[in-house]
Structure 1
Amino acid sequence: MGTVIMHNVVSVDGFIADSNDDVGPLHDWYFSGDTPITEPTDGAEFDHSGDGGGFRVSARSAPYVRAMWARIGVIVMGRHFFDLMNGWEGQPPTGEHVVVVSHRPKPEGWHPEASYHFFDDVRAAMAAAQELGGDRAIAVNAGEVGGQILAAGLVDEVAMDVVPVVFGTGKRYFGGIDTQLLLEDPHVVIEGDRVLHLAFKVRRQP
């Protein structure tokens, strides 16, 4: 089974967007560096910007981000984020499959060629993600659905790309989770330009 990683870019006070879903400067570091996430020989595997530029990060961030993206086989997200992004038009930034937790089915006629799968229960969604991903990692988008999956004990690691900005209010990284959970000491601490990459394993209860 693949490792389940809850991941998102986040402000220092724990928000992944403001109350209007505006991410402000949270993703600026993805485009302000001088190192492409993919090597030129990789083509446009991770580049869906349409302008050939794609994601360009600092030299300190690039090895970590490249390795993280290369591990991922499946992305799990909530319906709200799917609707905001229109599911990246069927082309996720990494991985081959997307699982959406939603009480509504996939929009009729929406990119039938894309491997997008809709489930109304987080456990069913994660079971499908594991089957689709095999041994590759599953990236769970942080937020309300991510918090539910974490609270259900289905997350192995928490990864945060912390950007030095304070939002004050907005959409929380851990959603509305009200359960206290312990994480291990960070096994990733990488200082990039305008971002700090952190990763923690979830401590399992005895």
Structure 2
Amino acid sequence: MGTVVMHNVASVDGFIADPDDQVGPLHEWYFSGDTAIGPAEDSDFRVPAASARYVGSTWASLGVIVMGRRLFDLTNGWEGHPPAGEHVVVVSHRPKPDGWHPEASYYFVDDLNSAMDTAQRLAGDRVVAVNAGVVGGQILAAGLIDEVAMDIVPVVFGSGRRFFGDVDSQHLLEDPHVVIRSERVLHLRYKVRR
């Protein structure tokens, strides 16, 4: 089975979006750099050179993205084309919208354990990326996350959608094994202590 990594871009004070689900400057570094990354040569993703190798190799390692219904609805599931990985598992009590991109490899699952079983089966030895937020926090609390990856942007939101969602218990992480300082972003990655 592949490694399960909870990931998102976050403000210095730990928010992945403001109270209105707007990301503000959090994702600007994905589009303001000098190095193209992504599945297509004409990709809109242009990150700083210091981020390119890390982000490129991370994206290339992904087999599946696990996300909550809120993010699916906000992004319309990236119109059936996730930025990385081959499959997406959506944790939702509602089914896939009627007629929504029938060709897309998206699976709608209504509980965390089934979602993670589906993601692991689809990913094989590749990485399962779990989007941070409420669902990511629930998967962390269930003990199903191996690593936490954060791309910290130098902005303070003050309130909004928390990286770890509503987690109300303590979870220890090891010292970061990835620390990459880039332009307008700091990449950190931690193993979850067992």
TM-score by length of 1: 0.92
Distance 2:101 2:175 in 1: 41
Matched, 1:135 2:132: no
SS in 1 for 2:25: coil
Q: Which runs of 5 or more structure 2 residues have no equivalent in the other structure?
A: none
Structure 1's consecutive aligned runs of 4 or more residues displaced over 6 angstroms after TM superposition are: none
d(CA) in 2 for partners of 1:90 and 1:58? 27
Alignment partner of 1:104 is 2:125:
no
Structure 1 vs Structure 2: percent identity of aligned residues? Answer: 72
1:53 CA displacement: 5.0
Q: Number of matched residues?
A: 194
Give, in angstroms, the shift of residue 43 of structure 1: 3.2
Quote the residue 1:153 is aligned against: 143
Alignment-derived partner of residue 19 in structure 2: 19
1:9 corresponds to = 9
SS of aligned partner of 2:120: helix
CA RMSD of aligned residues (A): 0.9
Match among 59, 75, 81 for residue 85 of structure 1: 75
Residue 109 of structure 2 corresponds to 119
Match of 1:57 among 47, 52, 55: 47
**Structure 2 equivalent of residue 179 of structure 1:** 169
Structure 2 Cα separation of the partners of residues 53 and 25 of structure 1? 20
**SS across alignment from 1:123:** helix
Deviation readout 1:140-170 (Å, 9 max, x if unpaired): 0000000000000000000000000000000
Gaps of 5+ in 1: 45-51
TM-score, scaled to structure 2: 0.98
Aligned residue runs from structure 1 range 193-204, under 5 A: 193-204=183-194
Residue 149 of structure 2 aligns to a residue in which SS?
strand
Secondary structure, in 3 states, of the residue corresponding to 2:122? Answer: helix
Distance 1:128 1:28 in 2: 32
Secondary structure (helix, strand or coil) at the match of 2:188 reads: strand
Does the residue aligned with 1:69 lie in a helix, a strand or coil? Answer: helix
The SS at the match of 2:82 is: coil
Q: CA deviation at 1:82?
A: 0.2
SS in 1 for 2:6: strand
* Mapped partners of 1:87, 1:151: distance in 2: 25
3-state secondary structure, aligned to 1:54: coil
